[in-house]
Amino acid sequence: MKPFVLILAALSLVAPRGAPLRAQSTPAVRPWSVRMTESVMRRDSIVHPEWDYVAGVVLLGIHRVGERTGDPRFASYVKRNVDRLVRPDGTIATYDVEEFNLDQINEGKLLFPLLARTHDDRYRKAAGLLREQLRRHPRTSEGGFWHKKTYPNQMWLDGLYMAQPFYAQYAKEFGEPAAFDDVAKQLLLMARHARDPRTGLYYHGWDESRTESWADPKTGLSPAFWGRAMGWYAMALVDVLDFMPPSHKDRAALVRTFQDVARAVRDVQDPVTGLWYDVLDQPNRVGNYHEASASSMFVYALAKGARRGYLPADYRDVASRGFDGIVRDLVTVDAQGLVSLNRVVAVSGLGGKQKRSGTFEYYISEPVVSNDPKGVGAFILAAEELSR
């Protein structure tokens, strides 16, 4: 390498004392999935104090990194976090089945690899407890799971990711072939009700009763296309296909649905940065911004879809452009080497006590933060998928 090139390379890593380094898009010595995982572990011995989807997203990413690298630190971290809450008898601290909240299913995805590795029956019992929730979970008239008992008659895109990959893996691991029909039904119901025929994008929520303040009185749909909601749905589809039997009657429909979602996502990718906006179809409106968790989710889903053969190979290029944009514009590294993911919307929902309207103005009003676990977990999953 010529001397002036070496000098430029060195200068690119220089930052004022104590200031974060802007992450470079060139490959690091270690994969970004490992660097972010190690940063999570250095910051927090416990990802999240309660059993819920927040911890589930991060721990699933860390599990995938440990699975590929074989580094025992990562498996130990996941086990320590889960064992804080899963008791020896299989009951789960902070979890209440009577809440009938789909968000609470997501962390259960970690129970399968823990059971396979340790043969500790607590994990089987805990998985059975979550499965029991789904047996009793309230449903719409067509059989769609309510997002929560406190949100009657409503299906949200978020809930499809929280419950369906767990449900499909449970069906595979414990021999419930009839359950695959139900898994597919949930995903295809939202494809029927929430998809916008003009853009192919999906609305965040659907209220069968059409009585919620955010629901269109004719369609029952919420008003806008929120990025992270559609990210949840894209990840749900591609992960469920890991477990859906090749011969299942609805597998082809799920693949077609995923392909349709992928096209819609590709069409709203920012051609300049490779990123996606918080409200997907309104890039030029004042206040809209490139959002890290949705961008990470789309990178993960598109890269995995291309690797699995559900999508044409060039979708990996779409994913790679997205990941390069995340690393270039949304990731920083501090002087201690801790990696941070910035510009993550903290939370967005519909209705409830907060009277969340689901409009463009509502979504862009929610706080934007760094290192929110939902974004960090999705980033690890995306980085790990691209490294495969």
Residues annotated as part of the active site: 158
Tokens of 54: 């927040």
Please, where are the H alpha helices in 209-250? Answer: 227-240
Helix (H) or strand (E) run with residue 155 in it: strand 154-156
Residues 6+ apart with CB under 8 A from 154: 146, 147, 205, 206, 207, 208, 212, 350, 351
b/e for 209-233, b at 16 or more Cβ within 10 A? Answer: eeebebbeeeebbbbbbbbbbbbbb
Residues 6+ apart with CB under 8 A from 42: 338
The length of the chain, given as a count of residues: 388
* Cα–Cα dist 36/47, whole Å: 13
Q: 């029956």: which residue's tokens?
A: 121
Q: Using CA of residue 375, residue 376, residue 378, residue 382, what is the dihedral sign?
A: positive
Q: Using CA of residue 100, residue 178, residue 59, residue 349, what is the dihedral sign?
A: negative
Helix (H) or strand (E) run with residue 341 in it: strand 339-341
CB 290 within 8 A of CB 243: no
Helix (H) or strand (E) run with residue 93 in it: none
Per DSSP, the three-state class of 195 is: strand
